Amino acid sequence: MPVCTLYALEYKPDPASWFERIRHAHGAVLLDSGRPVAERGRYDLLSAWPLSIFEPDANESGAAFFQRLRQALELLGRADIPDDCPLPFAGGLIGLLAYDFGRRLEALPNRARDDLALPAARFGLYPWALINDHQLKRCHLVFHPSLGDIDRQRLIRLFETDAEYEHEPFELQAKFTAELELNGYKQAVEKIQRYIQEGDCYQVNFAQRFQAPCQGDEWDAYRRVRNACPTPFSGFIALDGGAIASFSPERFLRLKEGRVETRPIKGTRQRGMDPHTDAEQAQALLASDKDRAENLMIVDLMRNDLGRSCRIGSVQVPELFALESYPNVHHLVSCVSGTLAYGQDAFGLLAGSFPGGSITGAPKIRAMQIIDELEATCRSIYCGSLLYIDVRGEMDSSIAIRTLLIKDQLVTCWGGGGIVADSDWHAEYEESIGKVKVLMEVLETIPH
């Protein structure tokens, strides 16, 4: 089996100084674990100059697109990482799935307006990566065997040479405005609750959208928000005419050595202003029957989704109702795991589980139909996924919540939450704003 070549670099706890060297390169991408503040993440992964970019054709099914991606990995060729250096990526695909890619996997209505025009999916095929390992405090360039020596030496020089990198400041031209008025939000929640009372569904994740005109470098926006709200599944993906800047706390699916893990979030409280109030908020979340019931609904949904791709009897719930705290909110998180079935792979796992149940509701298909009915515009990257799949079949992915789409001089973000039978519409409205408040406030307070 061919083996990747590693080149050791100086370890840096913040990947920004590495990424700034490729910020303006074609296909620049950073998957950022939010260290040193965020504690769950171990690796940062960044790359640029992909061999190819893959986007689905207009009428291409999800299955057909995934088959093209499989073939791309096969053509690049399987390779391993040296045994003494456990790294998550040996070359392969890095990119995004928009929430609306789900329409290519299931028969769903398509009434929402697609005014942001983000591709339903976009992946680059990368024969190299720079990987920070925060556990071992090591940094390596990883070269797939197919990468030529000239390109390897060019990358080594780039990352070994110190330089100052300037970027244009990012700023808003006006404050964020909500797409949905307060009464419109109330009516949507009441409609969902009627569906629940009629037995159509148990829970629907309903979201609202916020937008502001902007100018400047998207990377500057990412750096500023990251400093205020580091999270273990952050990421920055450069696009033609813009970027995605994600600050997600939520893992969607990880596939490592045949083991599958998902960590759905369901249940949120704002952080307190002082230690006493903050502890009260955390305990209130842990003790909330409503939040535990919502979380359990999604755990059951994810057990079912993983069961499509995992060995019979292998799906388990090793962690239920755990507390995770971030700079702006406390979350209730569970873990569902399983063993991938023979003949299955990362793409089959995605096809059976995307989009994540924590951001749709239950049952999933009916919840997605209701979302399409009540949300006037497509979700785009919101509640989609940032992910990698390498040539060994290893995968890790996020749920793209707390995410900015900066495109065509407009910055967009979304906030949402799970609506159930006893939800208070005004409390849900405030929670939807609270989840993205830190993102909007950081950008709104940048001096002009």
Positions marked active-site: 250, 266
- What's the token pair of residue 387? 């992910």
Q: What totals of helices (H) and strands (E) does the chain contain, helices first?
A: 10, 23
Phi and psi angles of residue 207, each rounded to the nearest 5 degrees, phi first: -130, 155
Long-range contacts of 189-195 (CB under 8 A, 24+ apart): 189/419, 189/423, 189/425, 189/428, 189/429, 190/425, 191/374, 192/370, 192/374, 192/419, 193/419, 193/421, 193/423, 195/370
Dist. CA 439–CA 331, nearest whole Å: 17
Reply yes or no: is the peptide bond before residue 36 cis, omega within 30 of 0: yes
65 contact partners, CB below 8 Å, separation of at least 6: 54, 56, 57, 104, 121
Distances (CA, A) of 274 to 39, 164, 270, 413: 21, 39, 12, 28
Dist. CA 243–CA 386, nearest whole Å: 13
